[in-house]
Structure 1
């Protein structure tokens, strides 16, 4: 179990981004699987996920019973160090990938002495109807979801 306390997410209103860096007491391969494979993603992020194969352009869905289904598409991929997803946003007029009202969240992974350092940066909030509300909501979301990821991977779920 990790004894490190991870910092909370940060909003950069000038760059329209939300970011957070955490350390997970798990090897990079295990963290990579947790952020790229639907069966693992559904254990800590959405309640259900579809996403296969692992390739740029692959589309899928991340869904929550209280928030609905959100389309996702893999935009960038550099295993096991980086994956970027584009997704529809609840603050968009229509939750589609073609609407232009989407954000991109990029996970970068790096091996560190304590396990794996994961950084998420979500960008593109300036394309949404209410950027400030979306950044604030997603800031809280990343705090909760990445804490769930740590619990899942470190076995304290």
Structure 2
């Protein structure tokens, strides 16, 4: 029997901020660390490396968590997609992909669609933890960039 994929995690929000401001918060390490990981490195080109560290002091877990990835697609002010691999959680599936899609609705509103795909039925805990985490972080992004 073939493993079925869970539906990808999908979050859609409209933020009172320009698409330029939202995109910068996704790609600029100095801005990223104000709402997302505690340490961030991004090489902003297709094939570029991504590194995020979530410190144990913030996550309330027993150790820091590191995520590495490679940028798959980058279209300024429109889309950012990268692989998402938890190096500190070896039990997690290494084949997930995070995609941010941005759509400017008017001068001061941006629709963000976050899609985290690649989970399978053996990844239920991973799926649930990420689903909860993305609720938290998309709200933090919204609060960070709001005009």
TM-score (norm 1): 0.77
Q: RMSD value over aligned CA atoms? A: 2.3
What is residue 113 of structure 2 aligned with on the other side? Answer: 119
**CA deviation digits over 1:60-87, x for unaligned, max 9?**
3100112421112111112110010111
Distance 2:96 2:48 in 1: 16
Distance 1:62 1:30 in 2: 20
Report if aligned partners of 1:28, 1:80 keep a CA contact under 8 Å in 2: yes
What is residue 146 of structure 1 aligned with on the other side? Answer: 138
Q: 1:68 to 1:92 in 2, by over 3 A?
A: closer
Distance 1:131 1:94 in 2: 9
Q: 1:81 to 1:35 in 2, by over 3 A?
A: same
What is residue 84 of structure 1 aligned with on the other side? Answer: 81
Q: CA offset at residue 154 of structure 1?
A: 1.5
TM-score (norm 2): 0.82
In the TM superposition, what are the counterparts of 1:34-113 in structure 2 within 5 Å?
A: 34-52=25-43, 54-66=44-56, 67-89=64-86, 93=90, 101-113=94-106
Distance 2:117 2:87 in 1: 15
Report if aligned partners of 1:56, 1:76 keep a CA contact under 8 Å in 2: yes
Aligned residues: 136
Q: CA offset at residue 57 of structure 1?
A: 0.6
Alignment gaps of 5+ in structure 2 = 57-63
